[in-house]
Every structure is written in structure tokens, then in C-alpha cells.
Structure 1
Amino acid sequence: MYLFLKGACKGELLTTIGRDANNQAVADIENKANWKWFLELLTKDLNLQDGGGFIVISDQHKGLLEATKEVLPNVEHRQCARHIYANFRKTYTGVEFKNMFWAASFSTVESEFLRKMDDIKEVNYSAYEHLLARHPQTWCMAYFRTEVACEAVENGIAECFNAIILDARKKPLLGLFEEIRFYMMDRFYHMLQKEEK
């Protein structure tokens, strides 16, 4: 995930959001070299080795994809289904297409996915072709590795983080990082209190 910074400091906040870790870095531009640098640091810090057993969910930024293949060749790469749908609905609008897309995305076995895609094909053949061209093995649950205990088809956790730091992104770097640090400390404290109850 990356965030565009506004205000005194222009740049991109390269961020990983995970259930176990959260690291930040700022780069002048989002490209393969910066993603590679970031992923190398992340790999070292979290001892990811070749990425086996881990998942990257992204919006298909070419630089991130190329860097991930080099640094973490065995990571499972998934596309964010929400991004796939956002592009899909620009052409194929309406509740019917929305429901059919998400039914296909949440299919847990290939035969179910193929049936859902046939439903889309019956309604609109070009919508069917559009989705097949988006590599369903990266956004449909039926094709996800079963040895990894993560059923996420979208990067909602990253979107939540992005929404939380919306105002902080307009601040200079130190202010941005301080606000993120305060937020994380507060969150950890409140989660610990909940756990104790």
C-alpha cells in the first residue's frame, strides 16, 4: 500500500499493513527501485526469507509487482478485489453486476466460481471477458493457497489505516510519523484493555 502525502512534504508513504506488523518508509516516488528497497528492509526486519507462507494484496502497481517477484519470489500475490470491482463498475454498473462480481470473488471452489462467471456471461459477455482478463486466480478465493490462513480478497485493513491517517498525511514528515505513533500506541493500549476484560 502507498499513500500520497500532501502539505509541506511531498512524497509517498510506503506502508505494509498486517495483522502482525506495521512498518513505514517515505520515498520520493513509487517505483520498482523504491519498492525493492522497502521490501528488502521489510524482509530483513520480519525474516520473511523468500516470502513463502506470506501474502501480498495490492492494487497491481507494476513496480510493486516486479519488486515483489525479485525480493519475495514465493509470496502469494493477490489483487485487491475492491480495486478490481471499482474498475469493473465504471463500465458495468448496477446492483446485479455488483452482486455477481462479489459472488464470484467469494467463491470457494473453482466449479462455483465458473458457475458465477457463467451467470455474468449470460448477462453480458464483455463483462465476463473483462473479469477473466483480470487474472481471477489473484482475486477469487477458490484459487488462493490453502496452506495460508488468510481468506481476504481485498485490502480493507490498509484502507482503514489510510482513512485513519487522512489528516496526518497533510503534515510534515515528523508530524505524520508522530501522529501514526500516537495512534498505534493508543490502539495497542485499548486492545490490551479489551483483552484483559
Structure 2
Amino acid sequence: MQQLHRAVGSPTGLVICTDACKGLEKAVGVVFPEVEYRECMRHIYSNFMKHYQENVFTDHLYPAARSYIEGLFRCGFSELSKCDYLTNNVSESFNAQIKKLKGLLLHELIDGIRELIMEKRYLRRQIGKDIQDCILPNVIKDLNTISKNLKVVKVARSDEGITEVTLIDDWNNHKRHMIDFVHEYYSIKRFRAAYASRVEPLPDRKRQQLKDDDSAGPSQIKKKKTTPKKKGAPKKKKKTPKKKKTPKKKKQQKKVAAQQLVL
């Protein structure tokens, strides 16, 4: 967590969502005391079902978590992050994509992640070019789903994106609301701006190393000191004369002659 804090800091609207691990909860509270902390609903559900096995929990637990009614799960989410995810499936999906890269060397792992991000950003840029509406399609789909059961009596426009909506409840009471349709965060303009820059492709490692060596310049490249060799004819080695070996018969004859002289 400390390494994560060094990398991203504590920007406004940062949300950290983890599994239901008590150690992580304490670590996030110590390192990120001002950050909004959430727990993955899927992990909470699996831990909850270890103790309670009735259908009343399986049928109503997730609907209660998806609700924005005061006192329920999403009601406590801050609006600064513009993210209402109940699970950490984004990180789970990322881990599944890099699963085949985890056995590689560190520099190969980082290069593989770079390629994934480069291709993903290119795909999102192409999607942003093709969309003609002002709002993201999935946001419009969610708005239509949420407002399906509303009993709308009248809609009066005030300005671009701002209207006055009159609703009727189950007791035939009229309620008027001033609605700002969609925050600018969910606009196509913001989506295109988020993926405008590209991840630059890289050459082969060997070519990159040669390029770095060439760009270093002659002054930065250290050369080994070598002593110059003197020119001239090569010196001849002196041959030492070898002693001649005397045969054994001659040695014996000399010994016999020396004995005869003594006698």
C-alpha cells in the first residue's frame, strides 16, 4: 500500500475497493486515511452465505446493494469518483489478461502489459470516433432502466441538459424536480479526451540498446587504454644447445678401461 501511495498519491475522488480482508482494511486506513474505502460485494456475499443459506438473502442481498435508497449500499458512495461499481471485477479481468505473462522476466512482463494498454487505448479511440451522440451509450441504457418505473406527468425544458420534471407517486401526489440530465463526466467529449494520447510503440531491445549507445556521443563513451606496439622485425628466440646423450655401451667400456689403469 505504501508503494501504491508513492505511485498514485491521494487525488480527489480516489476510491480503493478490496476483498473482505481485515489486513487490507487496516492497511488502507493507515496509508490512505482520507480515501473512500469500499469492499467488493461478491466477496461480502460469499462470506455472508457461509453463515446464512436462506433464499430470502440470495434474492434480496444484491438488489439491496444496487439500490440508491438512503441507508442501503450505494447510498454511502461519494459522487466525486463518478464510479458506482459494486465489485472489483475490473482488477479481476486485468489479472486474467496478464495471467500468461506472470511467468516471464520482469522487463518482459512490463513490456507485455504495455502492449495490452497500447491496444486497449487504440480500441477506445476508435469507439470514441464512431459514437455520434453526446452521452455514452451504456449510460443512456442505465438511465432508461432506472427511469422505466417512474410515473412522469410533465417534462419542461429550462436549458440545454436541464429540465423540470413532475412525477406522481403511488398516492397520487405530484412531486417536482429540477434535473441535470447527465454529468459532463459521462459525455463523449470527456471519453475522447481520456483516450486522446497514445502509447508509443517501442523497437526491439537490441536496436534500442544500439540507439542509446549512439546517442551517448563520443565524449561519454569510455574506451580502454591500450599501449601502442613498436614496429619492427620480430625478435628471434635463442636456441640453447642440447647435451648429447652417450650410449650405455660406451659408458661401460670407459669404466673397464679406468679399472685396468688402476691395476
Distance 1:94 1:182 in 2: 46
How high is the TM-score relative to the length of structure 2? Answer: 0.44
Q: Which amino acid in structure 2 is aligned with residue 150 of structure 1?
A: C
CA RMSD for the aligned pairs? 2.4
Does structure 1 residue 187 correspond to structure 2 residue 120?
yes
**1:58 aligned partner:** 18
Q: Is the 8 A contact 1:52 1:74 kept in 2?
A: no
Q: Within 5 A, what are the aligned runs for 1:45-194? A: 48=10, 51-93=11-53, 96-110=56-70, 113=72, 140-194=73-127
Structure 2 segments unaligned to the other structure (5+ residues): 131-263
Larger Rg: 2
Q: Which amino acid in structure 2 is aligned with residue 155 of structure 1?
A: N
Distance 1:36 1:76 in 2: 16
Q: Is the 8 A contact 1:168 1:176 kept in 2?
A: yes
| Cα drift, residue 62 of structure 1 | 4.0
Cα 1:98–1:42 change in 2 (3 A) is same
Say which structure is richer in helix: 1
Q: Is the 8 A contact 2:40 2:88 kept in 1?
A: yes
**2:3 aligned partner:** 37
Q: Is the 8 A contact 1:58 1:155 kept in 2?
A: yes
Aligned length, in residue pairs: 130
Cα 1:142–1:55 change in 2 (3 A) is same
Cα 1:91–1:188 change in 2 (3 A) is same
Cα 1:94–1:177 change in 2 (3 A) is farther
How high is the TM-score relative to the length of structure 1? Answer: 0.56
Distance 2:5 2:117 in 1: 22
| Cα drift, residue 72 of structure 1 | 2.4
Bigger relative contact order (CA 8 A; separation at least 6):
1
* Partner deviation per Cα, 1:97-149 (whole Å, 9 max, x = no partner): 333110121121235x4xxxxxxxxxxxxxxxxxxxxxxxxxx1122224442
| Cα drift, residue 167 of structure 1 | 1.5
Distance 1:39 1:60 in 2: 21
Q: Which amino acid in structure 2 is aligned with residue 55 of structure 1?
A: V
SS at match of 2:38: strand
Structure 1 segments unaligned to the other structure (5+ residues): 1-34, 114-139
Distance 1:66 1:40 in 2: 18
Distance 2:85 2:92 in 1: 13
